[in-house]
Amino acid sequence: EADAILGRQAARESAARTYARALPIVPVRARGMTVEGADGRRYLDCLSGAGTLALGHNHPVVLQAVREVLDSGAPLHILDLATPLKDEFTTELFASLPEEFARDARIQFCGPAGTDAVEAALKLVRTATGRSGLLAFTGAYHGMTAGALAAGGDVDARAGLAGTVQQPVRLPYPFDYRCPFGVGGPQGARIAARWTASLLDDPKGGVEPPAGMILEAVQGEGGVIPAPDEWLREMRRITSAHGIPLIVDEVQTGVGRTGAFWAVQHSGIVPDVLVVSKAVGGSLPLAAIVYRGELDVWAPGAHAGTFRGNQLAMAAGTATLRFVREERLAERAALVGERMLARLRALRCLLPAMGDVRGRGLMLGVELVDPQADADPLGARPAAPALAAAVREEALRRGLIIELGGRHNSVLRLLPPLTITDEQVDAVLDRLGEAVHAASA
């Protein structure tokens, strides 16, 4: 039966299907970190809906919240009208934000995906500044709709838009392992920041005043690359100095994932626009932008959409935000993430195909490389995408779901739920080590 379903869906679905191609399983049940396939096999899910499932699958507090809505007779669909569920969600969300930001923030619900919220953010800063240009970074990922794709660094993914999107000014994102300046470390990040500052400070730098800058505090799809706090503070300083709204895309990094409730809290920067989605909906579709009140220049109705009031998602989201806060899961993610990182580093000493291990909190990446090839002067070896795909397959065979990312699709991304247990940590690392060993043998 599972094979029949896989066959039918492969035949009927678009050739563009992504995860289904990489992970040929048929999930029928899931709880916490465990997913069960139609064939009865069980998997540990280290993808978590691409970072969506902060509490894992079907967490009791989420199920309870959803059930209560279903039993209450509340309307499931009510456009974006004021409801008690939306009121509770917004209250909980605002309480989670840095105080300085929340004090004067506005929220615009967008619907229902991360990419929709990115589009709204871009539109908002363009409206507010009356300018059109954008500053965006190498390796960035912001979604798959036109504006978000333009902001992203993937040229291939943009090909279908052939010349229809306005290109941003592309700036270097600091990347220790493959430093664009061949320097690495804090020095590489300082040069990256200086490059950006010089473009804007130089009256003949050739950059029109942009409508905004958009960045991720930790690049996810780009290969799990945490930006140094100092670099983020520099980006905040530069954008403030030039009156450029700073959009921080926390679609993937939010809700405890990186070891702080919001990734901006590590560096202490206050964004002008925060883009939220994924985990804020507690596994159901929900997306919003939260922004400084001063930017709220939109005319009534300037940003609409049918699906901006998903009541189930708001209830699931409120339950998730509350649970993460009450159980201090961001702190837990920081601790468990450090332990996993240390153990991955130890594993790397045994497995030379693991070229780099990096991350923040429970957003971890392992870059696979060709151990036989020469290293560059900083010690980085060429990326090994075929090997990475083989590891993904070997991992799946061992009951571990992981997905790839990165510039060359050679980075194993580990995004376990924040509730991962010590036993699960052991199992993930054992299976991962075995998979790398088997694939590189």
* Strand pairing class (246-249; 273-276): parallel
The pair of structure tokens assigned to 305 is: 């959409």
Cβ atoms 330, 361 nearer than 8 A: yes
What sign does the dihedral 399-439-218-139 (CA atoms) show? negative
Cβ 118 to ligand PMP, closest distance in Å?
6
**Residue 209's beta-bridge partner residues?**
none
- Are the beta carbons of 273 and 290 closer than 8 angstroms? yes
The residue nearest ligand PMP at its CB is 114
Q: Is 403 in the site for ligand PMP (CB under 6 A)?
A: no
59 versus 257: smaller Cβ distance to ligand PMP: 257
Instruction: Reduce the DSSP state of residue 394 to 3 states and report it.
Output: helix
| Span of 109-117, 228-236, 326-334, 345-353 interacting with ligand PMP by CB under 6 A | 109-117
- Residues 218 and 253: beta-carbon distance below 8 Å: yes
User: Does residue 119 touch ligand PMP according to CB under 6 A?
Assistant: no
Q: Contacting ligand PMP (CB under 6 A), which of 277, 318, 320, 419?
A: 277
Is residue 250 within 8 Å of residue 275, measured between CB atoms? yes
Q: C-beta of 10: minimal distance to ligand PMP in Å?
A: 22
CB of 129 to ligand PMP, least distance (A): 22
Residue 49 CA to residue 255 CA, distance in Å, equals: 14
Q: Does 252 bind ligand PMP (CB under 6 A)?
A: yes
212 binds ligand PMP (CB under 6 A): no
- The interface with ligand PMP within residues 25-54 (CB under 6 A) comprises 50
282 interacts with ligand PMP by CB under 6 A: no
Tell me the backbone φ, ψ of residue 218, rounded to 5 degrees.
-135, 120
Check residue 221 for interaction with ligand PMP (CB under 6 A).
Answer: yes
User: Which neighbouring-strand residues pair with 288?
Assistant: 109, 276
Q: Which position among 124, 192, 238, 251 is part of the footprint of ligand PMP (CB under 6 A)?
A: 251
- Least Å from the CB of residue 227 to ligand PMP: 13
Contacting ligand PMP within 149-178 (CB under 6 A):
none
* Min separation Cβ 353 and ligand PMP, Å: 26
Q: Return the structure tokens found at 356.
A: 């780099």
Which one of residues 143, 282, 365, 417 is an interface residue with ligand PMP (CB under 6 A)?
143
Residue count at the site for ligand PMP (CB under 6 A)?
15
Tokens of 41: 């096999």
Report, in Å, the least distance between residue 402 CB and ligand PMP. 15
Give CA–CA dist 105/348, Å, rounded: 44
What backbone torsions phi and psi does residue 302 show, to the nearest 5 degrees?
-65, -20
**Contact flag: residue 364 with ligand PMP (CB under 6 A):** no
Work out how close the CB of 343 gets to ligand PMP at its nearest, in angstroms, rounded to a whole number: 25
| Distance in angstroms (rounded) separating the CA atoms of residues 109 and 313 | 12
* Residues at the site binding ligand PMP, with contacts judged by CB under 6 A: 50, 113-115, 118, 141-143, 216, 220-221, 249, 251-252, 277
